[in-house]
Structure 1
């Protein structure tokens, strides 16, 4: 069984990903940098295994895309948590609604959205319009971002409808 649809795999390969990619030094450096940042209220990012696994494979990927998608315009995105480092307070507030901690994965667009993963491996985008469930795992979230599929909005109670 193929991990990604052909189109998604091609976009990821163009960004430098290959099956079995493993960049633990890059991931660890990014995690250290992000965790060293303290928000004004004292909040800090804390990594967990799902975030570490995701970054060990995908850290440093920049997907340069723009154009019509299945339902939404496809935007460029970066899987670089350092680009979302000053989001500890925002992610902590959303984590309370979800009932699960979050760690930044990167950004979508020109800092239009924060990409974050929870300890269960679910991936979310947070933007000025709200919070969105991109997928139950990073593979599904990447497929959503690359195809321009419409993700469900997360409600104030931390739930969404598929």
Structure 2
């Protein structure tokens, strides 16, 4: 079974991804760098298996895209937690609403949004407009990002609707 639609796989391969890709050196250094940061309130990022697995396969991928997508403009993004501005307190607060821990995964746009993964492997985007559910796993989230599909907005109660007609414009 194919993990990605062909257009998504092409974009990811052009960015350096391949089946079975494992970037151990990059992941270890990146996780160390990110977990050493402490927010003013004392919050820190803690890595967990879902984050480590996602970064092993997709870490250090930089997708340079710009143009129309299915519903949204396709923006560049990077799977590199070291590029994420300090956000431990923000992810900690969002994680409380979801009932899970979060770890930064990368950025979207020109530092417009923070990409984060939770302990279950679900991926979210946090920007000035709110929090958005990108997918149940990293491949689904990458498909959302590459194709410009409208993701559902996460409500204040930590839930979202997967019904496309209820998706709020991003």
Q: TM-score range by the shorter chain?
A: over 0.9
C-alpha contact 1:67 1:74 (8 A) present in aligned 2: yes
Pairwise CA distance, 1:25: 1.2
Kindly tell me the number of residue pairs found equivalent between the two proteins: 162
CA separation in 2, counterparts of 1:33 and 1:105? 13
Q: When the two structures are superposed, what TM-score results if normalisation uses the length of structure 2?
A: 0.94
Map 1:35-50 onto structure 2 (within 5 A).
Answer: 35-50=35-50
Q: Which residue of 2 aligns with 1:91?
A: 91
Q: Which residue of 1 aligns with 2:76?
A: 76
Answer yes or no: is 1:125 the counterpart of 2:125.
Answer: yes
Map 1:1-12 onto structure 2 (within 5 A).
Answer: 1-12=1-12
TM-superposition CA deviations, 1:70-118 (whole Å, max 9, x none): 0000000000001115110110010010000000000001110000000
Map 1:1-162 onto structure 2 (within 5 A).
Answer: 1-162=1-162
CA separation in 2, counterparts of 1:81 and 1:110? 14
List structure 1 runs of 4+ shifted beyond 4 angstroms. none
Q: When the two structures are superposed, what TM-score results if normalisation uses the length of structure 1?
A: 0.99
For the aligned residue pairs, the C-alpha RMSD in angstroms reads 0.6
C-alpha contact 1:97 1:156 (8 A) present in aligned 2: yes
> Secondary structure of 2:47's match?
coil
Stretches of structure 1 that go unaligned for 5 or more consecutive residues are: none
Stretches of structure 2 that go unaligned for 5 or more consecutive residues are: 163-170
> Secondary structure of 1:93's match?
helix
